[in-house]
Structure 1
Amino acid sequence: MIARLVGTVFGAGYLRPGPGTWGTLAALPLAWIFMQGGALFFTVATAFVLPLGVWATRKMTDGHPEHDPSEIVIDELLGLWIALIPIAWGAQNAGVAVERLWPGWLAAFVLFRLFDIWKVGPVGWADRRNDVWGVMLDDAIAGVMAAVGVMILAALAHL
Structure 2
Amino acid sequence: MGMTRWICLGFGLGLLRPAPGTWGSLGALIIGLLIDRAFGFPGLLVATLLVTLLAYFTLRAELGTGHEDPSEFVIDEVAGQWLALLFPSAAFWWHGLSDWAIVAYPGWIAAFLFFRLFDIWKPWLVGRADRMGGPWGVLSDDLWAGVFAGVATMLAAGFAHGVLM
TM-score when normalising by structure 1: 0.92
Q: Shift of residue 62 of structure 1?
A: 4.1
Question: Could you tell me how far apart the structure 2 residues matched to 1:96 and 1:58 are?
Answer: 37
Task: Quote the offset at 1:94 in angstroms.
Answer: 4.4
- 1:64-143 aligned at under 5 Å gives the runs 67-92=68-93, 93-97=95-99, 98-143=101-146
Rounded Cα–Cα distance in structure 1 between residues aligned with 2:19 and 2:50: 25
Deviation digits for residues 23-55 of structure 1, max 9, x if unmatched? 111111210221121101111211222211011
Once the two structures are superposed, residues 120-158 of structure 1 have per-residue CA deviations (whole angstroms, 9 ceiling, x without a partner) of 100000000011100000000010000000111111122
Name the structure 1 match of 2:55.
53
Q: Aligned pairs, how many?
A: 158
Q: Which runs of 5+ in 2 are unaligned?
A: none
Q: Distance in 2 between matches of 1:59 and 1:142?
A: 23
Distance 2:104 2:147 in 1: 19
Q: By how many angstroms is 1:66 displaced? A: 6.1
Runs of 4+ displaced beyond 6 Å: none
User: Which of residues 134, 138, 147 is equivalent to 2:150?
Assistant: 147
2:56 and 2:23 map into 1 onto residues whose CA distance is 20
CA distance in 2, matches of 1:149, 1:87: 11
Higher mean displacement: 39-48 or 11-20? 39-48
The aligned amino acid for 1:13 is G
| TM-score normalised by structure 2 residue count | 0.89
By how many angstroms is 1:84 displaced? Answer: 0.5
Superposed CA RMSD in Å reads 1.6
* Contact 1:87–1:101 (8 Å) recurs in 2: no
Aligned partners of 1:89 and 1:123: how far apart in 2?
23
- Which segment drifts farther, 84-93 or 4-13? 84-93
Secondary structure of the corresponding residue to residue 21 of structure 1: helix
Q: Comparing 91-100 with 4-13, which one deviates more in the overlay?
A: 91-100
1:72 is paired with a residue whose SS is coil
Partner of 1:43: 45
Shift of 1:91: 3.0
Q: Provide the rounded CA distance (Å) in 1 between the counterparts of 2:102 and 2:143.
A: 23
